[in-house]
Structure 1
Amino acid sequence: MDITFLGTGSGVPSKLRNVSSLVLEMHQERDEVWLFDCGEATQHQILNTPIKPRKINKIFITHIHGDHIFGLPGLLSSRSFQEGTSTLEIYGPKGVKEFIETALSVSQTHLRYTIKYFEVTDGVLFEDEQIKVTAMSLVHGVPSYGFLIEESDQIGPLLPTKLKEKGVQPGPIFQEIKNNEVMTLDDGTEIVREEVTGPDILGRKIAILGDTLPFDDVIEFVRDADLLVHEATFTHEDTKLAQQYNHSTSVQAAKIAKEANVKQLLLNHVSSRYQQDHLQQELEHLKEIIKHVTYVKDFDSYEVLKEGR
Structure 2
Amino acid sequence: MELEFLGTGAGVPARQRNVTSVALKLLDERNEIWLFDVGEATQHQILKTTLKPRKVKKIFLTHLHGDHLFGLPGFLSSRSFQGGDEPLIIYGPKGIEEYVRTSLKISESHLTYPLNFVVLPNKGILLDDETFRVECAKLDHRIASYGFRIIEKDHPGELQVAKLQADSVPAGPVYAKIKKGETVTLADGRQINGQDYIGHAQKGRIVTIIGDTRNCEAIVPLAANADVLVHESTFGKQEQKIAHQYYHSTNINAAKVAKKAQVNRLLLTHISARYLGQAVRELQNDARAIFKNTKVVSDLDIYDIPFHGRKDE
Asked if TM exceeds 0.5, the reply is yes
Cα offset, 1:171, TM superposition: 4.4
Equivalent in the alignment of 2:157: 156
Cα offset, 1:196, TM superposition: 1.8
Question: Which amino acid is 2:34 matched to?
Answer: W
Q: 1:199 is paired with a residue of what secondary structure?
A: coil
Equivalent in the alignment of 1:30: 30
Structure 2 distance, partners of 1:100, 1:198, is 47
Greater shift in the superposed pair: 184-193 or 134-143: 184-193
Equivalent in the alignment of 1:241: 242
| Structure 1 unaligned blocks of 5 or more | none
2:144 aligned with 1:175:
no
Q: Please identify runs of 4+ aligned residues in structure 1 that moved more than 4 A.
A: none
Question: Which amino acid is 2:120 matched to?
Answer: V
Could you say if the C-alpha distance between residues 2 and 172 of structure 1 is closer, same or farther in structure 2, counting changes exceeding 3 Å? farther
Cα offset, 1:172, TM superposition: 4.7
Q: 2:183 is paired with a residue of what secondary structure?
A: strand
Equivalent in the alignment of 2:292: 291
Contact between 1:263 and 1:307, CA under 8 Å: does it hold in 2? Answer: no
Question: Which amino acid is 1:108 matched to?
Answer: E
Greater shift in the superposed pair: 294-303 or 214-223: 214-223
Equivalent in the alignment of 1:270: 271
Q: What are the equivalent positions in structure 2 for 1:76-225 lying under 5 Å apart?
A: 76-121=76-121, 122-160=123-161, 162-164=163-165, 166-178=167-179, 180-187=180-187, 188-225=189-226
Cα offset, 1:185, TM superposition: 2.5
Total equivalences in the alignment:
308
Question: Which amino acid is 1:110 matched to?
Answer: H
Structure 2 distance, partners of 1:280, 1:6, is 20
Equivalent in the alignment of 2:68: 68
| Structure 2 unaligned blocks of 5 or more | none
Structure 2 distance, partners of 1:169, 1:292, is 48
Any idea what the Cα deviations from partners look like across 1:57-99, whole Å, max 9, x if unmatched?
Answer: 1111110001011011111111111121111111111111000
Could you say if the C-alpha distance between residues 206 and 190 of structure 1 is closer, same or farther in structure 2, counting changes exceeding 3 Å? farther
Q: 1:234 is paired with a residue of what secondary structure?
A: coil
Structure 1 distance, partners of 2:291, 2:18, is 27
Could you say if the C-alpha distance between residues 159 and 84 of structure 1 is closer, same or farther in structure 2, counting changes exceeding 3 Å? closer
Contact between 1:182 and 1:190, CA under 8 Å: does it hold in 2? Answer: no
Could you say if the C-alpha distance between residues 160 and 113 of structure 1 is closer, same or farther in structure 2, counting changes exceeding 3 Å? closer
Question: Which amino acid is 2:219 matched to?
Answer: V
Question: Which amino acid is 1:182 matched to?
Answer: E
Contact between 2:177 and 2:194, CA under 8 Å: does it hold in 1? Answer: no
Over the matched positions of the two proteins, sequence identity in percent amounts to 45
Cα offset, 1:27, TM superposition: 1.0
Question: Which amino acid is 1:214 matched to?
Answer: N
Could you say if the C-alpha distance between residues 115 and 285 of structure 1 is closer, same or farther in structure 2, counting changes exceeding 3 Å? same
Cα offset, 1:192, TM superposition: 3.1
Q: What are the equivalent positions in structure 2 for 1:37-48 lying under 5 Å apart?
A: 37-48=37-48
Question: Which amino acid is 2:78 matched to?
Answer: S
Q: 1:74 is paired with a residue of what secondary structure?
A: helix
Q: 2:254 is paired with a residue of what secondary structure?
A: helix
Greater shift in the superposed pair: 31-40 or 273-282: 273-282
Equivalent in the alignment of 1:19: 19
Q: 1:146 is paired with a residue of what secondary structure?
A: strand
Cα offset, 1:289, TM superposition: 1.5
Equivalent in the alignment of 1:258: 259
Contact between 2:42 and 2:71, CA under 8 Å: does it hold in 1? Answer: yes
Any idea what the Cα deviations from partners look like across 1:146-169, whole Å, max 9, x if unmatched?
Answer: 111111111222334543465423
Structure 2 distance, partners of 1:24, 1:128, is 17
Structure 2 distance, partners of 1:12, 1:300, is 19
Could you say if the C-alpha distance between residues 280 and 172 of structure 1 is closer, same or farther in structure 2, counting changes exceeding 3 Å? farther
Q: 2:195 is paired with a residue of what secondary structure?
A: helix
Structure 1 distance, partners of 2:194, 2:206, is 26
2:302 aligned with 1:281:
no
Any idea what the Cα deviations from partners look like across 1:41-63, whole Å, max 9, x if unmatched?
Answer: 11111111111112211111110
Structure 1 distance, partners of 2:6, 2:267, is 14
Q: 1:70 is paired with a residue of what secondary structure?
A: coil
The RMSD of aligned alpha carbons is 1.5
